[in-house]
Structure 1
Amino acid sequence: MSGRPRTTSFAEGNKTQNYPVMGGMKIISKDGSKVTTVVATAGQGPDRPQEVSYTDTKVIGNGSFGVVFQATLCDTGELVAIKKVLQDKRFKNRELQIMRRLEHCNIVKLKYFFYSSGEKKDEVYLNLVLEYIPETVYKVARYYAKNKQTIPINFIRLYMYQLFRSLAYIHSLGICHRDIKPQNLLLDPETAVLKLCDFGSAKQLLHGEPNVSYICSRYYRAPELIFGAINYTTKIDVWSAGCVLAELLLGQPIFPGDSGVDQLVEIIKVLGTPTREQIKEMNPNYTEFKFPQIKSHPWQKVFRARTPPDAIALVSRLLEYTPGTRITPIQACAHPFFNELREGNKQLPNGREFPPLFNFTEQELAIQPSLNLILRPRNPNDAKAGQSSSSADGGAGASGGNGAGGSSNNNNGGGTGNGNNTPTTGGGGGGTILVNNNEKNYNPTRKKAGSTGDNKASTFNMNKQHHRLIGAHGGCPWRPPGYKYKRGIVGLHEEIEQFYAHMIPTGTEHTLRVQVVARIEAIVLNLWPMARVEMFGSFRTGLYLPTSDIDLVVIGRWEKLPLRTLENELISRGIAEPMSVRVLDKASVPIVKLTDRETQVKVDISFNMQSGVQSAELIKDFKRQYPVLAKLVLVLKQFLLQRDLNEVFTGGISSYSLILMCISFLQLHPRANQSQTTNLGVLLLEFLELYGRKFNYMKTGISVKNGGRYIPKEELQREMIDGHRPSLLCIEDPLTPGNDIGRSSYGALQVKQAFEYAYIVLMQAVSLNKYFNDCTRQSILGRIIRVTDEVIDYRTWIKETFESRLIAAQAIVPTILNDPLNPHLSLHIQQQQQQHLHHHHQQHQHQHVQQQQQQQQQQQYSSRRNS
């Protein structure tokens, strides 16, 4: 414990405090032992003074804050720790106020508190009676370090998981601990229970209220504190926790600075020099300060060779310069590093079961509900010894066995499921969370307001009432006004066809993107004539939505990647919106992000990543093999995009992972390769059922090589690069065996939950039961997919602004080729544009024929009716 007892502000505390009478302490001798009786108040609950007696008092710690005693309660024989601190009569004690609010299994419990007189006149001491826990993580770490041993990785997992749970809880209350370090992590060596203690520095952080920057012990101080920030957030605790994790892995502090400046130097040695943007996020007053430019040190070289990659990945997410990019404690709990804790049947070396890890309170489950499926193990064997699981979760049967689905409060779960002898299915059907009892109308596949950023396709807060889908578009612009769909699965097929025809970019939209690429290529070739620009990603494959980014890679030779040179040229030549250009030079794949000034199309530019180009060509081959692939992918991309589940850094899955999942599904589907006659509604439902209900993410990997197969993760483990373990969503890279495409998708179970939700909703929508809503009047696909007004307005603006300017399709390519600014336009851009124009022409012809047939059918129907 460290630091003086913190108090409230003078304005808040400048009131007369009513302390209990000091004369209540009695000391008597009984059987040779000194018994002390005091008038105390319970830590939680109403202020009802009561007599509490304790004995066997001895000092176990002291410092500038005061003294800590160990004692034994006479009534129960329970050991307690009594923290005695000098109390300023003018102020309330902030530590006491905070501790009375806290009740969590990983936070030391305040049992009682009382006041006592000091030796000097008017001297008052506050005594906090806390539960006694004998050891600390600091002592454990020191023991292993002295014996030149490393702490077992499972102990590190246990300790850090419980620390993150405690931080998630206090942060949800707006409380920042501000002194996270191994000395403040109490540890019971028998049970491995960890409890956070010493809230003497803790404070409830309020927006706009300044805080002192000289806080937290030096080795664990976040860089924004070193920069003197006074408007910091609870993310300073996250940084400190990252330092603790790194220390346990290394066996010594990761940033052992002797002073504030030296501390910053130690951080820069590892993370490299912070960028101007990062410094601005930490403290805007330091943006003009010049630092020596030092490259970051690879995390893999910071730690020992045998350190688990998942542990290193977690450290890298915690120790970020920019506070806002550090993951939250609850997200840390859901990190793959802790997956082994969720596997169940674990015991401590002394034979005891693991301490309760999943007995989440309603407060915890409400922090980020989308992670609850990951946080709570689905296997019933994992919920032991007080580790609760909600009745809304269905059980999952083991591979090769039978699993009983759990009951659900809203009658959507339950039932039994049969596993088979392959590792592809997880057994029981499982319960489904469609309604959160704590939050009205909570949809598990939607995010909270403010989390969507600049995603035009996000549908958060759109009206959910189905009758609103009738009309001009109502979120379903693919549906012609007044058009009535066939009933059941045939109507869903029909609607997917219309959705695809509507969402595939128009000739104008595609041509504008080609011109954006041409302008950027001209800039690149003007700077580096020997370089070349290649497209990859969705634009190269043609599987892109109207608001999708363009992915480009510049291939050439440089001693140092010229990210800043390209940034300056894009701005000076007027290609990019000046405020939109961002250089992510610290990312695993450094890129330049920009928004095209003329079209508002977003572009990501990387360097020398040729694997992306090869992957795009592979997908184009599969598109030719499976004609239904493009339609299935576009529906699923829109489904994930509007829920903000399409980005790896937010826990979702990448487009490449999604496409490989679709390819694998089609490879192993008996009817998927039968040209265009396959019912798209059937395929979509079966895909959602497979990856939302049946697929065993814990045990199975996906491979699309040699016709496709599902692979047990144990087999994949032997082929993994650098000893990595297969991730939750494990997809073998078809071009680089041993590379796991889904490694960064830590929120894959959130995607699984979204797929399961969509499956249930669509199954009800295609039902022919007469008691269900009339699907001829309502959109079926619109129950899970909407297009926002922002996307519709953007496409309308593109059409009205640019279509009249473009020359006829036959003249577009020669016009671009004759552009004096771009004499080196790549041949593949020309070929792709010609293919797209040809495809779009065929599409319009096909739609025209369909419309004629529909008109003829309507006329025949009308004539029969009249006769």
Structure 2
Amino acid sequence: MSLSPVPPALVDPPTSIPAPDASPSPAPSPAPTPAPTGPVAPTEPAAPTEPAAPTEPAAPAPARDALAGDFISFDDSDNDDDGDNPWIQTADAPLSADVEAMDSDHGLDDDELARKVLGTDYTPSGTPPPWRAESSGSGNGKKRKRDATKPSFVELVEERLMDSKRPPWVVGKSYSDNLTVMLHEEIIDFVEYIQPTNEEHFLREIAVASVRKMLLAEFPNAEFSVFGSFQTMLYLPHSDIDMALSFDESRYINPTSILSRVDRLLRRSCDFTKIEFVRSARVPIVKAVHAQFGFAIDISVNQKNGQHTVKAVKQFMREHAALRPLTLVLKMFMFCRELNEVYHGGVSSYTIITMLLSMLQTHPLLVRKELRAEENLGVLLLEWLELYGVCFDHRKVTVISDGFRIKDREAKYFPGPPINPMFLSIRDPTDTSNDLARGSRQAPEIIGAIRWAYYTLTIAIARCHALKRKPVSLLGLILTVDPSILEARQALLEIHKELDAHSDKLIAAQNKRRNDERNSRQTRRESCAAAAEKAEQAAAAAVGAGRSNASLAPQRKTEVVEFVEDDSDE
């Protein structure tokens, strides 16, 4: 269902979003201009015939007011009692200057930064970066006049709400009228849609087996292992397969030398394409793509901690039912914005898992068991987006699996190299000396994308409440499934059908051969049994004949003796 046209009074982002009202509303009257939530430059009242100048999205508080009982507060008295808690920000600065300051300091390009935040379908002429203040960038605090030809952030959200195109995971589905419940149900449907099918997993196992056979033939003394999302079943259709070669005499092994041989081995094979040896990564790897199935593979050397990580993640998923579905949603969210590759400055799936654990294991309502996580996925997704997109200051805070640490005090807790304050810092739950986000150079894009998603969803829910309209999809506002992924999955299904049909023919041929061999053996057994029976009969006949001759011998002897006697008498 598409939304009706928005009245002019509701086009620009209000500083106070109206709360939902279950009772029928009277005819709309001219709404008074709301008071701003933060310090803004004084402006003249807009003419009745001209829309007011759009502003940045409102602070979280008005959005929470609009959501009323649907939203669960993460703030609680159980939080860290430090007065300078860097996770808490004041309401008059909802869009903290951290991303803007880092952006201006590093000279990031507006279009490139916004493209990474908004997704791959960004067009520079129509979508301004949503988290930025309308400033000139000179640092003098003066407001820059907004380009009237560009739509405001709320207009963009409303435009997407009016889009009747359905994401593939909502086709044929119906959802609750409660929008946060709808978001929860939509997450479940998305996970069912995007998770690997039995056919896809079977083909991945074939690809793994082919790589294992080839590498062990080249390195017979090595141990081959698979780790990462393939083992935890947290992979998406586009996810790569992490493999490793391990050697007992690891102190004498040069990983670069081994990977060079792997690189040459893959290039000689016709089964792999797009082969790349990434020497500059913190962990050198050889990347390739399986030519038949299209699966990306990463091969490393002596990554024995990968199996420990797999065991830990499986244990975390057993303890937290919400971890798997939220991980799949956020992995796809990062992939849509090209922020999912660590060696390109993004975040890994294990980093996302750790960030989720930090929230799930410290959320007051979850800790007190007053909230069932598996029944509130939509609320928890909003909480996570708010926590890391609005409240989180990555320059001051290090994330750990059961909370956070202030970076200035971290040295006494965790060993390892010093932390770059401009980067994210997220500690490995299985090895606290390992900073998972050490290579995540795109911190502005990552935090900005999370913040954009939070404001997109909260404003969309508030506007739907205000307009009393039900959206086609909420999750589809921040996630897209590229058509190439759908085509690849369909191609894999066709390949599996062909292999299945071919295997059926092979199985039928094998069964026929086995039946023929069985019939042949049965015929030979019957022939042998018949021959044996004849032989036994012949032997029995021979024995019977021998006995007859033996009984006649004394009589003949007697006759001869008598004849001789008779002859002698004569």
Q: CA deviation at 1:766?
A: 2.6
Query: Aligned pair 1:658/2:349, yes or no?
Result: no
CA distance in 2 between partners of 1:617 and 1:406 (Å): 50
* Residues 541 and 616 in structure 1, CA contact (< 8 A), matched pair in contact too: yes
Query: Aligned pair 1:646/2:343, yes or no?
Result: no
> Structure 1 residues 559 and 479, CA, compared in 2 at 3 Å: closer, same or farther?
same
Q: CA deviation at 1:442?
A: 6.9
Secondary structure of the residue aligned to 2:490 is helix
Secondary structure of the residue aligned to 2:298 is strand
2:271 is aligned to 575
2:90 is aligned to 428
Alignment partner of 1:758 out of 427, 449, 453: 453
CA distance in 2 between partners of 1:678 and 1:712 (Å): 32
Q: CA deviation at 1:636?
A: 0.7
Secondary structure of the residue aligned to 2:272 is coil
Q: CA deviation at 1:784?
A: 0.8
2:106 is aligned to none
Structure of higher RCO (CA pairs closer than 8 Å, 6+ residues apart): 2
Secondary structure of the residue aligned to 2:441 is coil
> Structure 1 residues 448 and 681, CA, compared in 2 at 3 Å: closer, same or farther?
closer
CA distance in 2 between partners of 1:684 and 1:415 (Å): 15
C-alpha root-mean-square deviation of aligned residues, in Å?
3.7
2:342 partner amino acid: V
1:564 is aligned to 260
Superposed, 1:19-34 pairs within 5 Å as none
If the length of structure 1 is used for normalisation, what is the TM-score?
A: 0.41
1:680 partner amino acid: L
Q: CA deviation at 1:792?
A: 1.1
Superposed, 1:41-120 pairs within 5 Å as none
1:686 is aligned to 383
CA distance in 1 between partners of 2:280 and 2:229 (Å): 24
* Residues 420 and 427 in structure 1, CA contact (< 8 A), matched pair in contact too: no
1:681 partner amino acid: G
Q: CA deviation at 1:739?
A: 2.7
* Residues 424 and 440 in structure 2, CA contact (< 8 A), matched pair in contact too: yes
> Structure 1 residues 691 and 807, CA, compared in 2 at 3 Å: closer, same or farther?
farther
Q: CA deviation at 1:571?
A: 3.3
1:181 is aligned to none
Larger Rg: 2
> Structure 1 residues 691 and 764, CA, compared in 2 at 3 Å: closer, same or farther?
same
CA distance in 2 between partners of 1:459 and 1:542 (Å): 28
Q: CA deviation at 1:489?
A: 0.6
CA distance in 2 between partners of 1:564 and 1:443 (Å): 34
- C-alpha deviations, 1:543-583, integer Å up to 9, x for none? 11101111111112464332232223223342212xx1112
2:244 partner amino acid: V
- C-alpha deviations, 1:141-164, integer Å up to 9, x for none? xxxxxxxxxxxxxxxxxxxxxxxx
Alignment partner of 1:701 out of 389, 395, 398: 398
> Structure 1 residues 661 and 599, CA, compared in 2 at 3 Å: closer, same or farther?
same
Query: Aligned pair 1:536/2:227, yes or no?
Result: yes
1:470 is aligned to 164
> Structure 1 residues 726 and 489, CA, compared in 2 at 3 Å: closer, same or farther?
same
* Residues 94 and 390 in structure 2, CA contact (< 8 A), matched pair in contact too: no
> Structure 1 residues 458 and 805, CA, compared in 2 at 3 Å: closer, same or farther?
farther
Alignment partner of 2:55 out of 398, 410, 413: 410
Stretch of structure 1 that moved more, 499-508 or 730-739: 730-739
- C-alpha deviations, 1:744-787, integer Å up to 9, x for none? 223223211211111111112233754437224x1111111111
Is there any run of 5+ residues in structure 1 with no aligned partner, and where?
1-403, 450-456, 813-867
* Residues 407 and 413 in structure 1, CA contact (< 8 A), matched pair in contact too: no
Secondary structure of the residue aligned to 1:730 is coil
* Residues 116 and 445 in structure 2, CA contact (< 8 A), matched pair in contact too: no
Alignment partner of 1:525 out of 186, 196, 216: 216
Count of residue correspondences: 389
Alignment partner of 2:361 out of 667, 692, 695: 667
If the length of structure 2 is used for normalisation, what is the TM-score?
A: 0.61
Q: CA deviation at 1:458?
A: 4.3
Stretch of structure 1 that moved more, 501-510 or 790-799: 790-799
CA distance in 2 between partners of 1:773 and 1:796 (Å): 38
Q: Percent identity?
A: 29
CA distance in 2 between partners of 1:670 and 1:750 (Å): 29
Superposed, 1:163-174 pairs within 5 Å as none
Query: Aligned pair 1:447/2:116, yes or no?
Result: yes
* Residues 700 and 710 in structure 1, CA contact (< 8 A), matched pair in contact too: yes
Superposed, 1:20-419 pairs within 5 Å as 407=40, 410-413=55-58
Query: Aligned pair 1:624/2:318, yes or no?
Result: yes
Alignment partner of 2:430 out of 723, 731, 735: 735
> Structure 1 residues 406 and 496, CA, compared in 2 at 3 Å: closer, same or farther?
farther
Secondary structure of the residue aligned to 2:448 is helix
> Structure 1 residues 407 and 509, CA, compared in 2 at 3 Å: closer, same or farther?
farther
CA distance in 2 between partners of 1:507 and 1:571 (Å): 30
CA distance in 1 between partners of 2:490 and 2:262 (Å): 32
- C-alpha deviations, 1:150-188, integer Å up to 9, x for none? xxxxxxxxxxxxxxxxxxxxxxxxxxxxxxxxxxxxxxx
CA distance in 2 between partners of 1:732 and 1:807 (Å): 48
* Residues 485 and 775 in structure 1, CA contact (< 8 A), matched pair in contact too: no
- C-alpha deviations, 1:671-691, integer Å up to 9, x for none? 447666421110000000111
CA distance in 2 between partners of 1:646 and 1:500 (Å): 18
> Structure 1 residues 624 and 779, CA, compared in 2 at 3 Å: closer, same or farther?
same
Superposed, 1:461-860 pairs within 5 Å as 465-466=159-160, 470-471=164-165, 473=166, 476-481=167-172, 483=174, 485-556=176-247, 557=249, 559-560=253-254, 561-577=257-273, 580-672=274-366, 677-704=374-401, 708-725=402-419, 727=421, 728-767=423-462, 770-772=465-467, 774-776=469-471, 778-806=472-500
